[in-house]
Each structure stands twice: as C-alpha cells, then as structure tokens.
Structure 1
Amino acid sequence: MFNELISIILPVYNAEKYVSKCINSLINQTYKNIELIIIDDGSTDNSTAKCNYYLMKDSRIQLININNSGVSNARNVGIKNSRGSWIMFVDADDWLEPDAVEKVCEYVLDKDECDLIQFNCNEVNETGRLVNKKEGVVNLKTLSGLELKNYYKRIFIPSGDLESLEVFGFTRPVWGKLFNGKIVRNNNILFNHDLKIGEDMLFNLEYFSHCKRIILMPHYLYNYRVLSSSAEHGYMQHAIDQYSLLMKFIYIITKQSRDAKDIDNAYRLFIIRSTLLALTRGPFHSKSGFSFKDRRLQLNKLLQIEPVKAMKNCELNTLMSKKENIVFFALKEEKLLVLNVLLDFKYFINRLRKSRGKTI
C-alpha cells in the first residue's frame, strides 16, 4: 500500500477571500499522509490570521512567515523545507478535489519509475463557479521516448495551437502536477526569483529534462480560479527586461534539447511570440506613454539579445498567425522598419480606442 509523505507547497499573499477554501481542500484530502507547507509572503490583509487558525487546528501544517519577495522565492522556501517523497504546488486562490492526492498516488503505486504525474483542471470564476473544463487528456497516457519529446514541445506551443501536436493538457504551470522530490532536490531545481513571468515554465523545462517517464491522468482534480486582476496580456512596466531575461534563460536551458528539428520549431515559435508580447505589453502598449524615440530604443534593445538575434539564421516550418509571420520575416531579414511600422500602427490604434473608451 502506498503511504509515502506528500509535500504540498502553498504560497500565500493577500488571499484572504480564497485561502480558507484552499486550505480546507488540502487538510481534508482522503489521502492523509501529507505535510502542508504554507509560506506567508508578507501578507498585509487577513491571510496571516487565517493561516494561523489552521496551524493551530492541524499538526501537519508548517507555517513559514517571510518578507514579501514574490511567489518564486516563497515556493523555493517551501521546497527547502519539504520532507516528502513527492511535491505538489497549489496556489492560494485555487483548490483541489477531495480525493485528488489519493487518485494521483494510485498511479505512483501502479507505475514503476514514474518521474511526474499530471492531471486535468477545471477553470472557475471568482465566485468558484465552473466556467469550463480546460482542454486536457481524455485517456490515461504514459509518456517516454518520442512521446516525451512531443510533451516537451508543448511547453513552447500551448495546447490546441497546432493541429499536428497531440493534446497534453497544461504543461506550463507547476500546479496540476506531482513532482518527484528526489529529482527536485538532487538537481537543485528551484524557481528563478528574478522573473515575474514564465517562472513555472522555466522550472518545468529544467525538471522535464530529468524525466524518463511521465503519466498524464484524465481526471479533473485541480480547480483553477481565473481572477479579473490577473490580466495576462495587460501593460507591464518592465516587459522588455522580463521577456529578455526569460528568453535568455530558456535559450541556455534548452540548448542541448534543441538538436531535434521539431523541438527547434516549437522553441522558435515561442521566441517569436515572446518578442511580440514583450513589445505589445511594454513600449508599444497604449498605456506605456513611451515616445516614438523611446519605443525605437526599446525595440533595438530587445533585438540585441542572443535568442532573438539567432532567429535570422533559422528556418521555421510551422503554423503561424499573420502577425507572427511578419515578426519572423522582420527578425530573419533584419527589417527593423517593418516591425516598427507594424507595432506603431497597433500602438496608435489602441491609443485612439483608449481615448474613446474602447481599449483592447
């Protein structure tokens, strides 16, 4: 019978509206051999009091209070204080189904040398009402060899983007997964606390590189709350710096695995999309207030980083949108003016719509 300790790492920052539901879902799991490591990341609301209440209620809870330093550092503190054979990450505004850990552990018991187990998620709104069941695996899958490469590609190309790629559910987030604690600790895999975007993706890429077998479960066990405050493509003050940093780290981590042509294609498409996001979320966003000269300088700055510069020497045979094709052409042929005109046009259209109350 499987009875290994499961470490559940829960970073909390100003989540007083949701944290009680989350913690209740964890301490009431049908699988009892868990340790819940709560990292209070300097909350200024009632989250701290709520966490302390549960600390007194359940001896399996470890509460660590730290100064506010971001979710990556909070998770790292959780990893360093974990004792479990397996590690699971949960966000404070989400929750697990009551038998989630038990169901996942059944597959750990059944499969030899399993390095990662992933399960599906429900998408819910702020009130907790089900919005939809996110695209996930339909049947149980055990991945190794070539299938593992296809799974690896999915971290660059999100599920559903390309018909030619099989659906592997959510590869980018760290939630909805059970990680082998030995792999994490032996390889010192931690979150990069300099990043404010793509932290999960970077952690997973490094972890996946040590995996030989992955199990994808068809069960919907994680409830992911979509909050209106978490606008994924809104204005970002330091977008150029953050996306540049993300692309540089991924360029280094994936250098060896990009020998395969298909992974190379997926990686290059990711670079194109990240370049576009860095510009449209940063200097070319309607809220940026950058002058024409400053937008041009920021564009030049982004084009000088190694992953973007490398695009001019490559081919890309994959499905892209019109915008992505233009960006790829501009990067490959070093047509800076083409990219500048495209982005300036979008910038001025959005400024006009903003002034009329129709910002996109």
Structure 2
Amino acid sequence: MKNKTKTIDIVIPAYNAEKTISRTLDSLCKQSYTAFKVIVINDASIDDTVQIVKSYFGKLDICLIDLKQNRGVSNARNVGIENSNGDFILFIDSDDSVDEKYIEYFMEIDSKKDFVIIQHRRNDEIKDSKGKVGETTVAEFKEKCWDYWSRYRITNVWGVRYSRRIIESKTIRFDTNLKWGEDTKFNIQYLEECNTMVTLPYAEYIYFDTANSVSHKYEKSRYENALNVAKTFAQFAPDSEQLWMIKYIYWDMSVRHCINHLEDNPRRQWKKEVMEDMKRAIREPFFRECIADVLKKGALDMKIYAFFLKIKWIRPYIYIAKKMHW
C-alpha cells in the first residue's frame, strides 16, 4: 500500500435518501481499507435520512452535517469539501454503493497522481474488471479532448480520487447555478491544475439509475447549462483539434433533451415552451460554430442532424431523430 499514512474523506450529499442510504453506508462498512472518514451532508431532508445515518455512528467514522435549507447537491458537496481535512476526497451519491476494494484500489496509486478514475457499472450489470491501469497526461487530454472525454468519463465526480490540496489551493467548487453538467465543469476546472490522469480497470462503483434522477426530468435551463459547460471546455482546450466535437455533443444534448420531453405534458402551452427552448438552443452562435466541421468530419448521422440544424429546420430534425431512436 503506497499511501498508508494518507487520509481520505468520503463526501455523501443526501436529500430524502431514507430508501437508499443504508445501501451506501453498508457498502462502506465492508471496505477492506478502513482508515477513512465519511462526511454526510443532509440537505434538509424531510424523511428519516438523518435517523438512518445516526444509526451508523458506531460502525463508521461519520461526520453528519445537517443543513436547514435545501440548496441542492452542488452546495451540499461544497459544504462537504469545506468540512474535509483528508489528503484525498471521494464523492459517493446516496443512492449508489461500492464494492469492498473500492477505497483500497485508490490508495494503492501514488499520491502524486492527481486525477484517478475507477470504473463503474450499473446495478444490473455483471462485474468486469479486465484491463490494465492506464495513464495519460492532461496535455494529451487537451489535444484530443473528445477521445478522452468519452473514454475517461469525466461527466461524473463519483468514482474519482481528488487531491484536497489542489481543490483548496485553487478554491475549486461546484457551480451552484448549474442544474446539469456541474460535475463536468468541476472536473475540467480541477484538471486544469493537474499533470496526469490515471484510470483503474476495476468496476468497483455501482451506479443505480433511479426514476428520480435528474436525467429523467425536463430542465428548462438545460440549454444554458450545456452552453456553460461547453464554454468551460473551450477555455480548457482552446486549441484542441476535437473541440468542434465537444461543441456538437453539448449542442446535440441540449436539443435532444427538448425533443425527449415534448410529450411529457398534454398541454399545448407546455409543447410551445419546450419548442421555444429548442429554438433558442438551435440558434446559439457558439454551438453553430461547429457545423462546418461536423459536415466535413462527422459520421453520417451527425451530418444529417447538422444539416437540419444549419438551416434551422426543426420539425424534420425531430422526425428523423425519433425515427433513428436515440
């Protein structure tokens, strides 16, 4: 074990998590590496979350922070950071769990490696931990940002080992104004201060996709959030030969989000509002900068979508998108 003298804090934001947080804490009770502290931030829950967490006081080293006002997961994580004093920080969601060697694998990696990612699996997937430990430089990431964005899964903060020294020295925090994409923005800002990235092949983080997940709800601010994250990426890797792909992906995600929720409500006013949000996204100049590159370099389906986005022909775009079942 390379980091026997290093300490680690696990930050868990929790809001009305009475049905799932026992699963999370039980998985931490089974860890092979035991020198860690758990920081649970109760985000003004109105169920039995606090009582359940307190029942683990004798089983885990837990610091429970009870917020009186619900201000969202980004604020809760920021509170966790500010109450952390370990060498490393891990984030775990209150509806997920981890396998028994989750922390041990992280602690086996040299503390000088700034950004360490472990693999994850959905709760209904069979565990597959084949492969080798991988390493790349942040400079390489910037050069080919799309390849590494898709390969390294930087859209989440769970499953990543962070250096608290870097977070604190650069005052890196979650953007509380974002409802979506806040994890990606946090990671980009953190990576700006790093030299190396390490990936572990072990699928030790278990992700539970619940019906209450933000990904299943319509967010009117999705377009602004996607634009915010894409611009942060552009500042991080302004000279990347693949920046056009990042712009396209975030543009496409913001438009698709609207399409996927057009039928959520039968009211005509609802559809009108969603269509207006979609039009705003389609007309965004920053995103439209990528059209020429998509038409030249993109895959066939991307070129078809980009063509209709270019001419702002919305209904054929919606029709084709639904037919292609994404």
Q: TM-score of the superposition, structure 2-length normalised?
A: 0.85
Instruction: Give the one of 332, 343, 347 matched to 2:318.
Output: 343
Q: Specify whether residues 154 and 285 from structure 1 end up closer, same or farther in structure 2 by C-alpha distance, changes over 3 A only.
A: farther
Which structure 2 residues correspond to residues 143-158 of structure 1 after superposition, within 5 A? 143-144=136-137, 147-149=140-142, 152-154=145-147, 156=149, 158=150
1 CA distance for matches of 2:62 and 2:266? 43
What's the CA shift string for 1:288-343, capped at 9, x where partnerless? 63457655543443344442343456555544463x433322343xx22x224433
Which structure 2 residues correspond to residues 40-119 of structure 1 after superposition, within 5 A? 40-55=42-57, 57-58=58-59, 60-66=61-67, 67-108=69-110, 113-119=112-118
Q: Specify whether residues 97 and 15 from structure 1 end up closer, same or farther in structure 2 by C-alpha distance, changes over 3 A only.
A: same
* Paired position in structure 2 for 1:120: 119
2 CA distance for matches of 1:133 and 1:318? 36
Q: Specify whether residues 187 and 219 from structure 1 end up closer, same or farther in structure 2 by C-alpha distance, changes over 3 A only.
A: same
2 CA distance for matches of 1:256 and 1:59? 39
1 CA distance for matches of 2:22 and 2:83? 22
* Paired position in structure 1 for 2:178: 195
Note the residue ranges of structure 1 that are not aligned, 5 or more in a row: 126-130, 159-166, 350-359
Q: Specify whether residues 132 and 215 from structure 1 end up closer, same or farther in structure 2 by C-alpha distance, changes over 3 A only.
A: same
Q: Specify whether residues 299 and 31 from structure 1 end up closer, same or farther in structure 2 by C-alpha distance, changes over 3 A only.
A: closer
1 CA distance for matches of 2:276 and 2:210? 34
2 CA distance for matches of 1:318 and 1:271? 17
Q: Specify whether residues 235 and 25 from structure 1 end up closer, same or farther in structure 2 by C-alpha distance, changes over 3 A only.
A: closer
Aligned letter for 2:141? Answer: L
* Paired position in structure 2 for 1:276: 255
Note the residue ranges of structure 2 that are not aligned, 5 or more in a row: none
2:4 is the alignment partner of 1:24: no
Q: Specify whether residues 244 and 327 from structure 1 end up closer, same or farther in structure 2 by C-alpha distance, changes over 3 A only.
A: farther
* Paired position in structure 2 for 1:259: 239
Contact 1:206 1:253 (C-alpha < 8 Å) held by counterparts: no
2 CA distance for matches of 1:329 and 1:187? 42
SS in 1 for 2:194: coil
Moved more, 293-302 or 27-36: 293-302
1 CA distance for matches of 2:160 and 2:316? 43
Q: Specify whether residues 93 and 320 from structure 1 end up closer, same or farther in structure 2 by C-alpha distance, changes over 3 A only.
A: same
Moved more, 252-261 or 171-180: 252-261
SS in 1 for 2:10: strand
Aligned letter for 1:207? Answer: Y
1 CA distance for matches of 2:7 and 2:56? 20
* Paired position in structure 2 for 1:175: 158
Aligned letter for 1:60? Answer: D
* Cα shift at 1:142: 1.5
1 CA distance for matches of 2:133 and 2:320? 47
1 CA distance for matches of 2:121 and 2:273? 42
Contact 1:116 1:214 (C-alpha < 8 Å) held by counterparts: yes
2 CA distance for matches of 1:330 and 1:345? 10
* Cα shift at 1:43: 1.5
